[in-house]
Chain A
């Protein structure tokens, strides 16, 4: 970087320091995330719900699943808890963004890092990384717990193929939901509004569109973010009329990308 020097030889611009790199912004966002208790509570809840409920539901249903009356696959139960744990991913994604708007700290953030795109990107990366890891670990622990009971009934699942995919798929889906919520958070700026609208979209609206008749309704259902994205997190979906796991996840990623792009444009233009 060149110093702009006046004729008298006085340096008028401070150029002795490098522009804050993306790595620096990333480190800052990571420090923010890990220095508040809400992050850890949210992650503990993710783990308890994800692994705990999977174990519990397998324990309660193993007997029935092994019987001849069973009309569901054990594969639908082995990541059951992740369906509930996605709520905590929404909460984490929202908190990372909306608490800053709620307290006004976003101004401190944007004053420290005027390039707002970097802030959005750094928040996205830390949320995706953290939820990806925690989601995957949670799914594995849930598998270990749930499969113990399935195994006892002789219907244990081997950790390969679709079952294995659903493990890191759970991590990917949670990361995706977190990212989706980060984008919504930047657009809405309110904690309660962000959390409730994402949950309503994923859990309520995603099921309600089922009621739309005909092929149109079928497609809308398949394309709703929660329905498209969640296929990857389970070996066998309860709903047979969904997109293939990877196709669905690609659709979900595209929807998330559109929201992120919208958030980027809005955040760049809007007064902080």
Chain B
């Protein structure tokens, strides 16, 4: 279990993480979602005691990580898969980590097997592909068989097979009762992996809910209606207490399904040219939610 209380981090006059409160529960995959620069990595570094919070606290299993009696057995972390000496072999990398926490060397072989790197364990890590690097990082995270696993952007740069592997692996860890905390800036990825969502934007928590809740709350749907007498149709539907908005040559109606809207318009002799249920994707929902909190906007020419 990870618990943050009023956790704040300022770098100069920039506030990276702004008084966030959250609890990451065991037994499920918690997705930590936010655009680049939202404060995900900073939060994760504070969890691991690498960055000191400006104010507030964060605890792992009830205490500060740095006070842990056996850090690697408490929490396994993948922060940056490139953060490995390129001249050291995968096996040696895991061996020094194991040694530092008094973990038996036999465990090194086990985690190499676990991530499927056994055959290349003697190779220098500098030759590893991005995917192999991520696997090595995950092997390192699992060395201490920790109850809490923190993975920062674990699917970045992975091929589809690798992404599927991480997804299955995360699920398995959660099913074993572990606390699994995974960051990503891709909603589509989180939708497939996470049970619970923590959405962060500009250092504040925008949503903290189950995946299902997030979908019903944020992935809104409406019925698109196109009709020759658009104004009349809009007035009629508004008169029925429905939420109607006019966008260009269509109206968007929420509060009634497409069939009922069609029936209503037909009864009043209004011709209908289009009647479509439009469901915004989770990606859209995420974009909408974080629209104000994106650090760097791309300006697309010709776009409104």
Selected from B84, B97, B101, B102, the residue in CB contact (under 8 A) with A103 is B84
Chain B nearest Cβ from A269, distance in angstroms: 8
Interface flags for B147-168 (1: CB within 8 Å of A; 0: not) read 1000000000000000000000
A271 touches B50 (CB 8 A): yes
Chain B nearest Cβ from A47, distance in angstroms: 20
Tell me the A73-111 residues at the B interface (CB within 8 Å): 99-100, 103-105, 107-111
Chain A residues within an 8 Å CB radius of B69: 1, 13-15, 17-19
Chain B nearest Cβ from A20, distance in angstroms: 5
Given A21-B102, A112-B71, A35 contacting B96 (CB threshold 8 A):
yes
Answer yes or no: A211 CB below 8 A from chain B CBs.
no
Chain A nearest Cβ from B78, distance in angstroms: 10
Selected from A13, A31, A36, A114, the residue in CB contact (under 8 A) with B65 is A114
Tell me the B95-145 residues at the A interface (CB within 8 Å): 95-97, 99-102, 140
Answer yes or no: B3 CB below 8 A from chain A CBs.
no
Given A31-B96, A114-B65, A114-B66, A20 contacting B71 (CB threshold 8 A):
yes
Chain A nearest Cβ from B294, distance in angstroms: 24
A37 touches B66 (CB 8 A): no
Interface flags for B77-100 (1: CB within 8 Å of A; 0: not) read 101101111111100110111011
Answer yes or no: B63 CB below 8 A from chain A CBs.
yes
Q: CA A107 – CA B65 in complex, angstroms?
A: 14
Chain A residues within an 8 Å CB radius of B84: 103, 105, 108
A107 touches B83 (CB 8 A): yes
Q: Which of A22-30, A141-149, A157-165 contacts B (4 or more CB under 8 A)?
A: A22-30
Answer yes or no: B171 CB below 8 A from chain A CBs.
no
Interface flags for B44-69 (1: CB within 8 Å of A; 0: not) read 01001111100000000111011111
CB closest chain-A residue, reference B65: A114
A104 touches B61 (CB 8 A): no
Chain A residues within an 8 Å CB radius of B190: none
Q: CA A100 – CA B85 in complex, angstroms?
A: 7
Chain B residues within an 8 Å CB radius of A1: 69
Given A31-B96, A112-B100, A17 contacting B70 (CB threshold 8 A):
yes
Answer yes or no: B208 CB below 8 A from chain A CBs.
no
Given A14-B147, A103-B86, A111-B71, A28 contacting B100 (CB threshold 8 A):
yes
Answer yes or no: A207 CB below 8 A from chain B CBs.
no
Answer yes or no: A12 CB below 8 A from chain B CBs.
yes
Chain B residues within an 8 Å CB radius of A269: 52
Selected from A12, A37, A108, A272, the residue in CB contact (under 8 A) with B61 is A12
A19 touches B83 (CB 8 A): no
Chain B residues within an 8 Å CB radius of A103: 82-86
Answer yes or no: A38 CB below 8 A from chain B CBs.
yes
Answer yes or no: B218 CB below 8 A from chain A CBs.
no
Other A-B pairs beyond A35-B88, A35-B92, A112-B101, 14, CB < 8 Å: A12-B61, A14-B69, A14-B73, A14-B147, A17-B73, A18-B70, A20-B102, A24-B102, A31-B95, A36-B87, A37-B87, A103-B84, A107-B80, A271-B45
The residues of B with any CB-CB pair to A shorter than 8 Å are 45, 48-52, 61-63, 65-74, 77, 79-80, 82-89, 92-93, 95-97, 99-102, 140, 147
21 contacts between A and B (CB under 8 A): A4-B62, A13-B63, A14-B61, A14-B74, A17-B73, A20-B70, A20-B100, A24-B99, A24-B100, A32-B96, A35-B92, A36-B85, A107-B50, A108-B140, A111-B79, A112-B100, A112-B101, A113-B71, A114-B49, A271-B50, A271-B52
The 3 closest A-B pairs by CB, nearest first: A104-B83, A28-B100, A35-B92
